[in-house]
Amino acid sequence: MFAIFTQFADWLTYSIFGLSPDSKLGDAVHFFIEDVSKIYALLIVMIYVVALLRASLNVERVRDYLSGKNRGIGYLLGSGFGAITPFCSCSSIPVFLGFTSAGIPVGITMSFLLTSPLINEVAILLLMSLLGWKFTLLYVVIGISVGTLGGFFLDSIKAERWLQSFAAKALAQGQQNDQTNHSQTATAMPLAQRHEFAKDETLEIFSRVWKWVIIGVGLGAALHGFVPDGWIEQYLGDGQWWSVPAAVLLGIPLYSNATGVIPVMESLIINGLPIGTTLAFCMSTVAASFPEFILLKQVMQWRLLATVFLLLLVSFTAVGWIFNAFSSFL
Amino acid sequence: MKQIKVLGSGCTKCTKTAELIDKLAQESGVHVNVTKETDPQVIMRYGVMSTPAVVIDEQLVHSGSIPHRDQVQTWLTQE
């Protein structure tokens, strides 16, 4: 099914550009063209299809559903909805406050917000096509677990103590008037309206992520063509315990979304970087970014902000070590 | 004169929304006062969770995306 992209890259690289298939440059250019064309085609088709399916799901409905849920299952549900609900990261503050003022515990809200950047439909489908279903399943399970356990942890240390005072007040009020006003009733959405939504969504997401794909694949191609075979394996292989925390730290200043980082993951793994180290690096790049953390300052005190940040770094490091240790069983 | 507020944390979509409303109002000769509201406390008070959102004369009319041109036109011409 994907052979057409290989043929297209063959034709463009070797016939049109006249590069030799044996040269490093030819190899890198071929890889770049094949991956970019494949990813663009996949993205457009997949964003459209997924948007069509989830057109009627939105944060307001998730809030109504989550409020009043028992905590035990709440973290898992929060994390799960974080994965599938479409929402732009610039809305995270209003979403946080919306959930909070509906009386939803901080931990469940954070489960939602932590999982959201890690897992989304574009990331899942890209992972499937580039790295296979086993890796994808693994990635999703880890993402959901980080969100679920992170939320549970934050509630068990009573993180709500460290909210900004107006947010804490909103939470207390929300928990008092328990009856939730179900603002919207689920109405069946006609197909025409779904198509309209899916079309807008496809244009919107594609215009946001296309450059990330170029950057991600470009880096991947550079790695692919110019880093000597075995170099990564020798110097950053799983024998070096420090390579995982180093990868996590390196990921913090780099900020990308999941779409851009997946092509990089592909080439890192092909080049022999251990799976756990790769996962740790990528999760840190996607989820731990300073600009977004600074935004959260509006609703959280420094202490909570630092706790959440450390929590992420520790969990990504743990994920990396665990997977490096067990990678031989995969 | 209509008082129009665009609610949002200052992301590009919110800026675009405000610009669109301004532009269409000028084109159709309607006098409006468009302001951007970025304070999360205020956004919370309107009960908005997805930004950009549009408030006209204290009435929430839209949230979650950049509004369509036709939609904006209707708001502008409605009394």
* Inter-chain touch B65–A97, beta carbons under 8 Å: no
- Check whether A301 has a pLDDT greater than 70: yes
Residues of B in contact with A88 (CB under 8 A): 11, 13, 50-51
Interface test with A, best of B41, B49, B55 (most A CBs within 10 A): B49
Confidence class for position B55, pLDDT limits 50, 70, 90: very high
* Inter-chain touch B50–A58, beta carbons under 8 Å: yes
ipTM exceeding 0.95, yes/no: no
Rounded Cα–Cα distance for residues B37 and B53 (Å) = 10
Domains and CATH numbers, chain B: 2-77 (3.40.30.10)
Cβ distance B36 to A90 under 8 Å?
no
Q: Would an 8 Å CB–CB cutoff place B74 in contact with chain A?
A: no
More confident residue, B17 or A228: B17
Chain A residue closest in CA terms to B43:
A94
Q: pTM of the entire structure?
A: 0.81
* Inter-chain touch A94–B43, beta carbons under 8 Å: yes
Element (H, E) at B63: strand B59-63
Give the per-residue pLDDT at B79.
60
Give the per-residue pLDDT at A23.
81
Across the interface, of A63, A93, A200, the residue whose CB is closest to B9 is A93
Interface test with B, best of A66, A67, A90 (most B CBs within 10 A): A90
Listed by start position, the domains of chain A span 15-173+192-329
- Check whether A183 has a pLDDT greater than 60: no
Across the interface, of B40, B47, B50, the residue whose CB is closest to A298 is B40
For the segment B38-47, what is each residue's pLDDT rounded down to a tens digit? 888 888 888 8
Confidence class for position A75, pLDDT limits 50, 70, 90: very high
Q: Would an 8 Å CB–CB cutoff place B45 in contact with chain A?
A: no
Backbone angles phi, psi at B68, to 5 degrees: -75, 155
CA B73 to chain A, closest CA, distance in angstroms equals 19
For the segment A186-205, what is each residue's pLDDT rounded down to a tens digit? 556 788 888 888 888 888 88
Rounded Cα–Cα distance for residues A55 and B61 (Å) = 20
- Check whether A151 has a pLDDT greater than 90: yes
Give the per-residue pLDDT at A155.
92
Q: Count residue pairs from A and B with Cβ separation < 8 A.
A: 54
* Inter-chain touch A94–B41, beta carbons under 8 Å: no
Rounded Cα–Cα distance for residues A187 and B43 (Å) = 26
- Check whether B27 has a pLDDT greater than 60: yes
- Check whether B54 has a pLDDT greater than 70: yes
Residues of A in contact with B40 (CB under 8 A): 93-94, 97, 298-299
> Range with the lowest mean pLDDT among A3-7, A120-124, A209-213?
A120-124
- Check whether A271 has a pLDDT greater than 60: yes
Interface test with A, best of B5, B11, B13, B44 (most A CBs within 10 A): B44
* Inter-chain touch A59–B50, beta carbons under 8 Å: yes
- Check whether A153 has a pLDDT greater than 90: yes
Interface test with A, best of B46, B50, B55, B71 (most A CBs within 10 A): B50
Q: Would an 8 Å CB–CB cutoff place B6 in contact with chain A?
A: no
Backbone angles phi, psi at A188, to 5 degrees: -65, 135
Average pLDDT, chain B: 86
Average pLDDT, chain A: 82
* Inter-chain touch A91–B41, beta carbons under 8 Å: no
For the segment A96-148, what is each residue's pLDDT rounded down to a tens digit? 898 998 889 999 999 998 888 888 777 787 788 777 888 888 889 989 999 99
* Inter-chain touch B50–A94, beta carbons under 8 Å: yes
Give the per-residue pLDDT at A157.
92
CA A74 to chain B, closest CA, distance in angstroms equals 20
Cβ distance A45 to A77 under 8 Å?
no
Confidence class for position A324, pLDDT limits 50, 70, 90: confident
